[in-house]
Amino acid sequence: MQGWIIPPPKEPVKTRAQFRREREEKVRRLARDGYLNSDRIKDAMLKVRREDFIPPLYRDYAYLEVPLPLPGENATISCPHSYPLFYEPLGLDAGHKFLEVGLGSGYGTALAREIVGPNGKVVSIEIDPETFEFARKNLRKAGYDDIVLVLGDGGLGYPELSPFDRICVTSACSEIPPPLIEQLRAGGRLIAPVSEQGTQDLVLLEKGRKGIKRRVICEVLYVSLKGGYGAGGFRNT
């Protein structure tokens, strides 16, 4: 995790009540700092216990603005502000069919499940089997049993359930994988960190009937996408 200072692992000591206070304070701060506007995203961030998606030795740092290591190779749970940073411009909302590429801890997936509500659907793909298993257990323990979890290369999307209203890629790609654009519904939006000569931009795509609109939101720093569309070489597989 180049570029971030990760606090040292330690036995967790914080109580549920402490975490709840930290979560409420975090939501207030994100709203005050302009990251968080939508009530649905706010309510999801208040409801989902982020600490339950973090390995015990990093759990007490749940509400710090740092990505924290997860089981698996190069997997992290992104910092708390990343979720509204992605979900607000995406306009993630009730009833959406949502695809996440990069399940990680399952935290962003749980938030999305809360946001899309009973009439929506969430599909999440993870490429690392160890990370996948960690997330699967976290989601099951937290009571999420209707999310479609897929072990595989998310760059290929999930044609079985396409088209999607919203797609979120949680690792940096050198170019947005074409299968994801194909699997986006007309009128849909996709958000992804895109690497550009050593830096990364958070890019929002809107698929209109006449073409694709592309907007850069801000600079970001994410782990690299793996698989057929990863940084090692962009190819059509």
Minimum CB distance to ligand SAM smaller for 31 or for 231? 231
Residues 6+ apart with CB under 8 A from 129: 72, 151
Closest separation between CB of residue 31 and ligand SAM, Å? 20
**200-205 own/partner pairs: CB under 8 Å, 24+ apart:** 200/172, 202/85, 202/86, 203/176, 204/89, 204/90, 205/176, 205/181
Residues making contact with ligand SAM (CB under 6 A)? 72, 75-78, 101-102, 104-105, 107-108, 125-128, 131, 153-155, 170-171, 222-223, 225-227
Minimum CB distance to ligand SAM smaller for 155 or for 188? 155
Closest separation between CB of residue 110 and ligand SAM, Å? 8
CA–chain centroid gap for 180, Å, is 15
Active site residue 78: yes
Phi, psi of 48 (to 5 degrees): -80, 125
Minimum CB distance to ligand SAM smaller for 97 or for 158? 158
Q: Residues 78, 90, 171, CA angle at the centre, nearest 5°?
A: 35
Options 78, 82, 105, 171, the catalytic residue: 78
Sign for the pseudo-dihedral over CA of 111, 116, 121, 125: negative
Minimum CB distance to ligand SAM smaller for 61 or for 222? 222
Closest separation between CB of residue 102 and ligand SAM, Å? 3
Residues with a catalytic annotation lie at 78
